[in-house]
Every structure is written in C-alpha cells, then in structure tokens.
C-alpha cells in the first residue's frame, strides 16, 4: 500500500483508499513476477525511482511466500513499524494460499482484504514518510560482519570457520541479529549459485576472494607464524567485503540463497568448489571455450554506449593492475625500511652506551628510542597501506573482471538472437523452396518450424533488450558504488597517514629538548 503511494507521488494517502484494488493489482502483479520468475522485470524496475523502494514490498511479499516462520518475524521486525504489521497481518491471513498460487490470485485476495483496513490507512502517512526517508538514504539497515576465524579439525582436513553475523531490521529475516558459522567453500558455493541464476540477466555479481592453495596449506599444517595469521586476516577481511557487496546489491539481496546463507544453521557442503574436482575441470574448460568465442564476437551495436563503457572498463582494469603492483612494492619497501630502522636503532643505542659525555650519551640513547618508535610507525603504515589500499585495488580488479563478464553475457545474448534470426531465414528459404516444389506435407512442417523460430527470435530479441537495460542499470550502479567505495577507502587511508604523521611529530618534539641539552 505504501509502495503504491510511493510509486505515484501526489495524491497518495487519499487516492489509496479510493482506488486500492486496481492499483494493488497492478503493482502486485509486478512484484509477484519478481518473486516467481526471479528475473527483474524491466517494467517494474523502470517504475522505481529509487531501487530501494521496490525492495520493501518485494521483501514483504516474498517473505509471505516462503511462509515458514512468518508469524514470529512479524512481531519482531520493527523499523517498518505500523506499516509492516498491517501488511503482514494481511498476508498472515492468506499465507496458506500464497505458497502455491500465482501472482494474480495473491493480488486479488490481498486486495479483497484491503477494504476493511480503512481505519489503518490513517496511520499509513507517518510510516510512509518514515519509509521514504529511510529509502532516500539508500540504507538497507543491514550489516554483515565476518569475524572470529577458527581452525576446525586437524591436518589436511582442517579448515577455517568464520562467524558470519548479521544485524538487520529488514522484515524478511527471522531475527534481528543472528550469526552462523561458514567456511570458505560455502562462500564460493554461494557465488556459484548466484552466478548460475543471475549472470544470465547481466547482473554484476561480486566475485569472492581467490582460492589460495599455498596459504591454506600453511594454515592447515598449523604453522603458527605471522604470515599465516596475515593470510587468515586478509581472507577474513576479503570475505567480509564480499558479503557486504552482495547484500548491497538490491536484486541479489532478494535471492533466497543469500538469505539461506546468512540464516541457516547448517549449510549443505558446497560441492564443485574444489579446484581439482570434476566440476572444477568443467569450469576451466568452459572458461577456455568462452575465451575463444569472445575473440570472434563483435556486436554491430547501434548503441555505442556499451562499446565505450567496455573500453573504459578495460583501460581502467589495466590502470588498476599497474597501480596495484606499485602499491605492493611500496609495501615491501616500507617493510624493508622498517627492518633497517630497527637495526639502526640498536646500533645507535650501543653508540650511546660507549659515549663518554653523559649528556650526549643520553641524547644518543634517546635518538635510538625515537628510531625504534619510528620503526613501529613504519610497520603500521605498511599494514595500512596493504589492508586498505592494495586490497581495495585487488577487489576492484576482480570486480571489473565481473563487469566485463556482464558485457560478455550481453554479447552472447546478442549472438544467440542473431543466430536465431539466421536460422529463421534459412527456414524461410526452405519453405520457399518447398512452396515452389509443391510438397504440402513437408510444407506444413516447415511452416510449424518457422512459427517456432519466429517465436524464438522475438523472445531472444526481448531477452537482448532486457539484458541491455539491466547491464546498463547495473553498470551505473556499479560506477556509483565504486566511486563511493574508493573515496571512503582513500579517505581512510589518508587518515591513517595523518595519524602516523601526528605521532611522528610527537616523537621528534620529545627528542628535541634532549638534543638541545647536550653540553
């Protein structure tokens, strides 16, 4: 209800009451399609001024659909306040029917229930405003965190389990805060499932962090040194960022797999994520064949936008790779500087010890201490260089790869369409020949085939249009996210630099009087 009001701005609260049924029916059917088909309907999407807006009602509906623990959640979810309670009450009544039925009946039944709720509509305005405000901020009120890596098991069968905690006010989840334990292959499994479902639509699916046989083996073997601790920390941070990106994505968030991943206590072991498995090989082969076909496709696109963007993406990826390499070597150099400073500090201390003059001796020892502190500073700086900057770059290099994949999907769809068109053409030629040769029975078959292929052509064309729209939308959203992400990370990085410089100043300021005191 509130959703409809958001859709058609001005005469909202009143209009709602006047014409609830038809409006409800319209939007519901759209939403319904969303649930059941799983493809984002461009029509529905086009309506939404703010993508977040569309999510709210969808969540509610889909929640009702899955039904299992609907009732309990209704009472706990609060941000949507009065509004959601009302909605859910409606659906609670029809929950039994919903799980089986198609959208239109859902709409009607909910519409039917609507009329008696005239009294409730009075309370709608506030909650609507509330909602609008929330949605304008584009906040999902949802936070995920990956913490507490723990080693489970021993030897080569050991693995790291991570605690995935979610804090959310979205009603579609059972509780407001909950956490589950997941392992790395679970994350990969999630990615696989999401790609299978969504990549065909041209969604940009955030890629998970890479597998690392070396790193994991070290951890498994139980080497308890800083490099394996670093590795685990890196992976944990990367997994967290991965999940955050997934939940930020509006259509991915709707996906039941994502919810299952976040909520369900025991997840079936994801198969096919092991590199050396049969599935792994299959993937490699597919990837190789894709690469070959990529080289031969070239869309004669009337829309140059896609071409330009693809080129941009490719050059950006190159730039980022270069930058990443440089940041890596910067980190190494800083570590080297760190080591050298430590050694120097020790040597200075010894010099101070052997110095005759007491004041000078003290000053030299002080200098040694300052250099020691410098060393810690440098080490921290190197860590922040790495964790903030380098990882950001690595993430975006992978993401850009995913974006390219998206564009490729679009190309594939186009190719399919073109192929269908040429097949249709051939069939038509065959028909013409048959007509000329006058063979009525074969003619019938030919005509059937033609209609079949005509249908396919129209469908593929629609597919292509749809995927183009999705890709475009996804790309714009990605760009926005990217610049926001980059900006915040760079600010964070600069702030860390700032802090270290401040401490720098403090240390030298402390040293100066000592130096001056030398007599």
Partner 1 sequence: MGSIAAQLFSGLSRDIKSGSSLGSVNVDLQTDATLQVDISDALSERDKVKFTVHTKSTLPNFKQNEFSVVRQHEEFIWLHDSFVENEEYAGYIIPPAPPRPDFDASREKLQKLGEGEGSMTKEEFTKMKQELEAEYLAIFKKTVAMHEVFLCRVAAHPVLRKDMNFHVFLEYNQDLSVRGKNKREKMEDFFKNVVKSADGVLVAGVKDVDDFFEHEKTFLLEYHNRVKDASSKSDRMIRSHKSKSPHCLIISTCLGKFFLKVSELFEKTRKIEARVAADEDLKLADLLKYYLRESQAAKDLLYRRGRALVDYENANKALDKARAKNKDVLQAETSQQVCCQKFEKISESAKQELIDFKTRRVAAFRKNLVELAELELKHAKGNLQLLQSCVGVLKGDT
Site residues for partner 1 per CB under 8 A:
319, 322-323, 326-327, 329-330, 333-334, 336-337, 340-341, 343-344, 347-348, 350-351, 354-357, 359-360, 363-364, 367, 486-487, 490-491, 494-495, 497-498, 501-502, 504-505, 508-509, 511-512, 515-516, 518-519
| Shortest CB 50 distance to partner 1, Å | 18
CA angle 447, 453, 458 (to 5 degrees): 130
| Shortest CB 376 distance to partner 1, Å | 15
Contacts of 108 (CB under 8 A, 6+ apart): 25
CA angle 281, 287, 289 (to 5 degrees): 105
Provide the token pair at 240: 């967290």
Smaller CB distance to partner 1: residue 419 or 495? 495
CB atoms within 10 A of CB 436: 8
| Shortest CB 221 distance to partner 1, Å | 33
| Shortest CB 368 distance to partner 1, Å | 9
| Shortest CB 371 distance to partner 1, Å | 8
Smaller CB distance to partner 1: residue 22 or 354? 354
CA distance 410 to 306: 10
Provide the token pair at 108: 């009607």
Query: Would you tell me the crossing angle of helices 51-66 and 81-98 to the nearest 10 degrees?
Result: 50
Smaller CB distance to partner 1: residue 30 or 485? 485
Smaller CB distance to partner 1: residue 327 or 446? 327
Dihedral angle computed from the Cα positions of residues 258, 170, 399 and 265, in that order, rounded to the nearest 10 degrees: -30
| Shortest CB 326 distance to partner 1, Å | 5
| Shortest CB 246 distance to partner 1, Å | 25
First to last CA, the chain: 84
Smaller CB distance to partner 1: residue 351 or 450? 351
| Shortest CB 369 distance to partner 1, Å | 13
Smaller CB distance to partner 1: residue 291 or 505? 505
CB atoms within 10 A of CB 291: 10
Smaller CB distance to partner 1: residue 221 or 326? 326
Report DSSP letters for 24-92, one per residue.
HHHHHHHHHHHHHH-SPPHHHHHH-SSHHHHHHHHHHHHHHHH-TTHHHHHHH--TTHHHHHHHHHHHH
CB atoms within 10 A of CB 322: 11
Report DSSP letters for 244-306, one per residue.
HHHHHSHHHHH-HHHHHHHH-SSPPPPTT-STTSHHHHHHHHHHHHHHHHHHH-----S-HHH
Smaller CB distance to partner 1: residue 161 or 337? 337
For the four alpha carbons of 87, 90, 93 and 98, in that order, the dihedral sign comes to negative
| Shortest CB 484 distance to partner 1, Å | 9
Smaller CB distance to partner 1: residue 266 or 509? 509
């Amino acid at each position: 209800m509130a959703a409809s009001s958001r859709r058609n701005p001005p005469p909202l609260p009143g209009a709602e009451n006047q014409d609830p049924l038809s409006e409800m029916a319209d939007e519901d059917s759209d939403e319904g399609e969303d649930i059941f088909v799983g493809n984002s309907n461009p029509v529905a999407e086009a309506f939404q001024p703010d993508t977040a807006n569309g999510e709210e009602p969808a969540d509610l509906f889909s929640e009702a659909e899955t039904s299992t623990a609907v009732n309990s959640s209704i009472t706990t979810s609060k941000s949507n306040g009065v509004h959601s309670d009302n909605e859910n009450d409606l659906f609670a009544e029809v929950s039994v029917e919903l799980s089986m039925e198609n959208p239109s009946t859902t709409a009607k039944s909910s519409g039917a229930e609507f009329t008696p709720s005239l009294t409730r509509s009075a309370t709608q305005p506030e909650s609507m405003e509330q909602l609008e405000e929330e949605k304008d901020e584009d906040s999902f009120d949802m936070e995920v965190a990956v913490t507490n890596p723990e080693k489970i098991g021993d030897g080569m069968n050991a693995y790291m389990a991570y605690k995935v905690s979610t804090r959310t006010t979205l009603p579609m989840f059972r509780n407001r805060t909950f956490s589950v334990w997941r392992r790395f292959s679970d994350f990969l499994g999630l990615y696989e499932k999401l790609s299978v479902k969504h990549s065909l639509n041209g969604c940009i699916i955030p890629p998970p962090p890479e597998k690392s046989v070396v790193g994991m083996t070290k951890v498994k073997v139980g080497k308890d040194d800083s490099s394996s601790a670093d590795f685990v920390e890196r992976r944990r941070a990367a997994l967290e960022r991965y999940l955050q990106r997934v939940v930020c994505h509006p259509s991915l968030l709707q996906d039941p797999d994502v919810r299952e991943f976040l909520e369900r206590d025991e997840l079936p072991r994801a198969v096919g994520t092991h590199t050396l498995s049969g599935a792994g090989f299959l993937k490699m082969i597919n990837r190789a064949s894709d690469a070959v076909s990529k080289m031969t496709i070239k869309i004669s696109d009337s829309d140059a936008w896609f071409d330009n963007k693809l080129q941009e993406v490719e050059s950006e990826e190159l730039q980022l790779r270069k930058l990443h390499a440089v940041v890596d070597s910067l980190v190494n150099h800083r570590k080297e500087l760190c080591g050298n400073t430590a050694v120097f500090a020790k040597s200075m201390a010894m010099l101070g010890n052997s110095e005759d003059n007491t004041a000078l001796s003290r000053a030299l020892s002080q200098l040694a201490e300052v250099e020691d502190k410098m060393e810690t500073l440098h080490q921290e700086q190197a860590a922040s260089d790495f964790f903030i900057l380098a990882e950001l770059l690595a993430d975006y290099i992978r993401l850009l790869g995913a974006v390219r994949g998206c564009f490729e999907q679009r190309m594939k769809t186009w190719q399919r369409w073109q192929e269908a068109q040429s097949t249709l053409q051939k069939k038509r030629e065959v028909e013409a020949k048959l007509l000329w040769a006058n063979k009525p029975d074969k003619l019938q078959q030919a005509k059937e085939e033609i209609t079949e292929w005509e249908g396919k052509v129209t469908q593929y064309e629609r597919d292509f249009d749809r995927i183009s729209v999705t890709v475009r939308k996804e790309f714009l959203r990605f760009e926005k996210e990217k610049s926001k992400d980059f900006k915040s990370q760079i600010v964070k990085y600069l702030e860390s630099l700032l802090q270290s410089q401040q401490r720098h100043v403090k240390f030298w300021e402390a040293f100066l009087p000592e130096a001056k005191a030398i007599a």
